Structure 1
Amino acid sequence: MEDLITCVEEQPQPPSSLPNSWTNQHSDSAQRTDEEPKAVGGFVLVHAGAGYHSESKAKEYKHVCKRACQRAVERLRAGALAMEAVAAALVELEDSPFTNAGMGSNLNLSGEIECDASIMDGKSLHYGSVGAIRGIKNPVLVAHRLLSEAQKGKLSAGRIPPCFLVGRGAHDWAVAHGIPPCPAEKMATKFSLSAYKRNKRKMEIAEKMDTPENPMKRRRQSSETENGSECLDTVGAIVVDQEGNVASAVSSGGLAMKHPGRVGQAAHYGCGCWAQNSCNSNPYSTAVSTSGCGEHLIRTMLARECSVALQAEDAHQALLDAMQNQFISSPFLASEDRVLGGVIVLRCCRCEEDPPSQDLQASLAKTSRPLWWSSCGAIARRACAWATCQPRTAGPRPTSPGCPQGRCQATPWPSRGGCVG
């Protein structure tokens, strides 16, 4: 299957008309302006995952993304730094029964919920993460606490504080540091339990069909089981505060019917999220949050790769190139029929003005099905550039002026949030 890139750029003014596939999902966008909070010194971008989402829950996905943005903005208004704001956004996403993070996450083969989460602070470059943790409603709070404790320095007897904990050890550490446990029966929702029972039945049917005479039929059934998952993967957020600090975070319940103990990209360094303030060698501050098939994102370290690419002068084209060269066409994924992933990114720098302002660009890119997102905040000087990378199986290669590789197609973009389908 051939994966091509489609590029979408936001216009300075809202477009007078949108493609039908977007208009149906954003019919109330014109009325949403009055509901949005006043501009705040900073920017927040969240996503609810790039995967196989249920169309019947479109309203819930939109609302939870908006609420997550609002929680982060509230923290920024109160004077919090980017790291605190991004954690607040993730808590809101984890608390929703409609996302695959925290409460309501996908169940594994044993019928249990194991979650991954990580957070990175661009100012200190510290990082905290947990993998395959059970019985904690908000895994991102454990990751955040790990990061905060690491910033305090060494432990007694000169011991190095942990930045990544898994399984029972992660759970016990969280409880010991004041994060309350959550009973397993309260972690699962009627939606996640229903999906588990449905997927288990499909797996049982597929195993019965696993005979030498029916290899193709079994593979097709397995594919249908995977694609039937209503919540595939990771939620995330990226934030820049009024001081120009950046932070990013991700949280995930992992793949449906995963093997117990499996840890996805949401917990791996450089794979789930990345945040780095500007310095002498990097003129731009960057923040990245990924979503998709964890194994694909781990093998390519996509979050770090995108952050490095964003140091180029043309951030928009750099993101497209990174998705194409470091992910879609990566030699590490050459054996895969199709790669599944998405990213939200931002970069910013301080402008030499009086008073100083932030020059900020935000982008998103994906190769999978719909990616639900929302944004809030004040963006100075420059409009956002958005990108979406979509697999195509047929038809002519799209082109647009200024794209010598013939990979891009310029299209109007709806503002403030919704679904990239």
Structure 2
Amino acid sequence: MKWAIIATWRMALEGVQKANELLKNKESSGDAIETAIKMVEDFPYYKSVGYGGLPNENGEVELDAAYMDGDSLSIGAIAGIKDFKNPISIARKLSEEKFNCFLVGHGAEEYAHKNGFERANMLTDRAIIHYKNRLKETVDKGLSPYAGHDTVGMVALDSNYSMACGTSTSGLFMKKRGRTGDSPLSGSGFYVDSEIGGATATGLGEDIMKGCISYEIVRLMKDGYTPQEAADKAVYELNKLLVDRRKEAGDISVVCINNKGEFGVATNIEGFSFVIATDKLAPTVYVCSVENNKTIYEVATKEWLDNYMNKRTAPLKLK
């Protein structure tokens, strides 16, 4: 395998297409990850990441992101940052720091400002409509405000056998100010080691954090499990643990690749999608289902892909 990149959710497709071209031209896994995630962050219709991300309960967009270099194991992460574009780039810059590599809130914003990152209002009119509609539904219908927590996470392998991974999210919709999920936490939302492989997670951060699932998948791959075996084992063991101890488990989905470019995916929900590209496979979207604690996936149909974009770009009105 010459190169590979895998990502959570259909929203990563355009970014993976661009990253695939970079990897094909022998660019680094780190550049591929940053480029691909920035494309997701910049697209306003993907409402759980970057510009257009869904706000917290106070109507503020707080963003989390992380980056990890699989060669050096260097990590950079930010949480609760407001009014800055492309948090993945800020996280990657932080990964170059020996100290202070995980910053939150005002500290992250001060670092971003001092290092010349672009300020921008990340709250869109569309996100405001989502916010106001959810407030109304919470009062009128008694619905939970906490819905919408899709992290974009990616792992890449380049032609030099170096690996990197990254995550970016606006977190749980209507979250408490300052709430941070698994996405910027090493071992939970992401982990990569170029000598083994990497993994990244999406779903309910409060439950994903209980299993350090990304590190667990890499550990299992080190012990000889294939990426698919490692992903299934980690997800379904954590799911069972949570159900046994707490009577329920939130959404948990993972993607991973090893240092040979072999990939795996696992989920405890129906309809999870992911994107994979390698030197032998053009960027492709797959949709998952669950059968007997095993994840089954098939190539997304044109109808599914059309419905996905039509739903996300449809005009919104206040209810």
Fold match (TM-score > 0.5): yes
- Determine if contact 2:271/2:289 at 8 Å carries over to the other structure: no
SS of the equivalent of 1:342 reads strand
- Take 2:264 and 2:115, find their aligned partners in 1: how far apart are those partners? 36
Match of 1:180 in 2: 118
1:132–1:193 distance in 2 versus 1, CA, 3 Å: same
- Determine if contact 2:8/2:273 at 8 Å carries over to the other structure: yes
1:121 alignment partner, one of 36, 48, 69? 69
Offset at residue 139 of structure 1 (A): 0.7
1:308 alignment partner, one of 212, 219, 231? 219
- Take 1:263 and 1:119, find their aligned partners in 2: how far apart are those partners? 16
Task: Give the aligned residue type for 1:222.
Answer: L
2:7 alignment partner, one of 46, 51, 56? 46
SS of the equivalent of 1:69 reads helix
Match of 2:267 in 1: 366
2:128 alignment partner, one of 178, 193, 202? 193
**2:184 matched to 1:257?**
no
**2:89 matched to 1:141?**
yes
- Take 1:169 and 1:103, find their aligned partners in 2: how far apart are those partners? 20
Aligned alpha-carbon RMSD (Å): 2.8
Offset at residue 416 of structure 1 (A): 11
SS of the equivalent of 2:273 reads strand
SS of the equivalent of 2:143 reads helix
1:151-190 alignment runs, 5 A limit: 153=98, 161-182=99-120, 184=121, 187-190=122-125
2:34 alignment partner, one of 82, 87, 111? 87
- Determine if contact 2:55/2:127 at 8 Å carries over to the other structure: yes
- Take 1:119 and 1:168, find their aligned partners in 2: how far apart are those partners? 19
SS of the equivalent of 1:300 reads coil
Match of 2:158 in 1: 241
Considering Cα pairs closer than 8 Å and 6+ residues apart, tell me whether 1 or 2 has the greater RCO: 1
SS of the equivalent of 1:107 reads coil
Aligned residue-pair number: 300
SS of the equivalent of 2:108 reads helix
- Take 1:416 and 1:245, find their aligned partners in 2: how far apart are those partners? 33
- Determine if contact 1:73/1:376 at 8 Å carries over to the other structure: yes
**2:281 matched to 1:320?**
no
SS of the equivalent of 1:254 reads coil
Match of 2:258 in 1: 347
Match of 2:138 in 1: 203
- Take 1:415 and 1:71, find their aligned partners in 2: how far apart are those partners? 19
Gaps of 5+ in 1: 1-39, 49-61, 154-160, 207-220, 279-284, 349-358, 381-385, 391-397, 400-406
- Take 1:270 and 1:263, find their aligned partners in 2: how far apart are those partners? 15
- Determine if contact 2:150/2:203 at 8 Å carries over to the other structure: yes
- Take 2:138 and 2:164, find their aligned partners in 1: how far apart are those partners? 39
TM-score by length of 1: 0.65
* Bigger Rg over Cα: 1
Offset at residue 309 of structure 1 (A): 1.4
Offset at residue 388 of structure 1 (A): 5.0
Offset at residue 370 of structure 1 (A): 2.5
- Take 1:389 and 1:198, find their aligned partners in 2: how far apart are those partners? 30
TM-score by length of 2: 0.85
SS of the equivalent of 2:176 reads coil
Offset at residue 362 of structure 1 (A): 0.5
Percent of paired sites with the same residue: 22
- Determine if contact 1:75/1:88 at 8 Å carries over to the other structure: no
Task: Give the aligned residue type for 2:207.
Answer: H
**Higher strand content, 1 or 2:** 2
